[in-house]
Amino acid sequence: MAIFKHTRSTDGKRREVVRLGHPVLRQKALEVPEERFGTRFLRDLGRDLTRTMYEDNGMGLAAPQIAVALRAFVYFVPGDGDEDEVPPQVVVNPRLTLEGEADALGWEGCLSLPGLRGIVPRHPRLVCEGLDVDGAPLRIEAEGLHARVIQHEVDHLDGIVFVDRMQDLSTLMYEEEWDRFADHKHLPVET
């Protein structure tokens, strides 16, 4: 089920999204070395991540999900109700400063675990520092859904998927059942 449709186009290539079981999803991804910034390689990686996120109607996508074991991801937050829209942003070599307890509950899904949803506890706020594909520094203050998406993506860089973070596996369900039976207060984050 697509949660929403992206309308903006992008010039990257759509890449295959690997699924749970592919070993790259369980590796710790490597820092992108300094000499890669501003290169065609890293710009293409950012564009391909963005294009693939659009095509698969995700809210984010990490490089390991397209079988590239580097610390880079793209995300965006759709403007919706309480949430301000955050335009697509590629973040490389992120470092998180987590704020508050990891007790904010929300639904998540993952393009690498297609069809599944579950309730995941996350920190309510964070600061994410990193670089863009050209090496310019980024400092992102995030809360709510925005903070959730970033925590989900950075977990992918450490070989962690959302089910690892679930405290109550009884909330794990398939999308169709989620549509029928779940409490829909919160938009699921599917990244």
Residue numbers of the site for Zn ion (CB under 5 A)? 110, 191
> From start to end of the chain, where are the E strands?
60-62, 72-77, 86-99, 104-109, 116-122, 125-131, 137-143, 173-174, 189-190
Tokens (6 digits) for 112: 């690498």
Which C-beta is closer to Zn ion: that of 121 or that of 135?
Answer: 121
Q: So which residues are the catalytic ones?
A: 153
Alpha-carbon distance of 42 to 50, in angstroms, equals: 12
| 3-class DSSP assignment, residue 31 | coil
Which C-beta is closer to Zn ion: that of 37 or that of 54?
Answer: 54
CB of 156 to Zn ion, least distance (A): 6
- Residues 6 or more apart whose CB falls under 8 angstroms from that of 40 comprise none
CB of 113 to Zn ion, least distance (A): 7
Side-chain half-sphere of 74: how many Cα atoms within 13 Å?
A: 27
Q: What is the largest CA-CA distance in the chain?
A: 50
CB of 165 to Zn ion, least distance (A): 11
CB of 79 to Zn ion, least distance (A): 21
What is 57-81 written as a DSSP string? T-SEEEGGGGT--BSEEEEEE--BT
CB of 125 to Zn ion, least distance (A): 21
Nearest residue to Zn ion, scored by beta-carbon proximity: 110
Which C-beta is closer to Zn ion: that of 37 or that of 111?
Answer: 111
Q: Beta strands 189-190 and 104-109: pairing type?
A: parallel
Alpha-carbon distance of 52 to 91, in angstroms, equals: 16
Which C-beta is closer to Zn ion: that of 93 or that of 191?
Answer: 191
Which C-beta is closer to Zn ion: that of 104 or that of 113?
Answer: 113
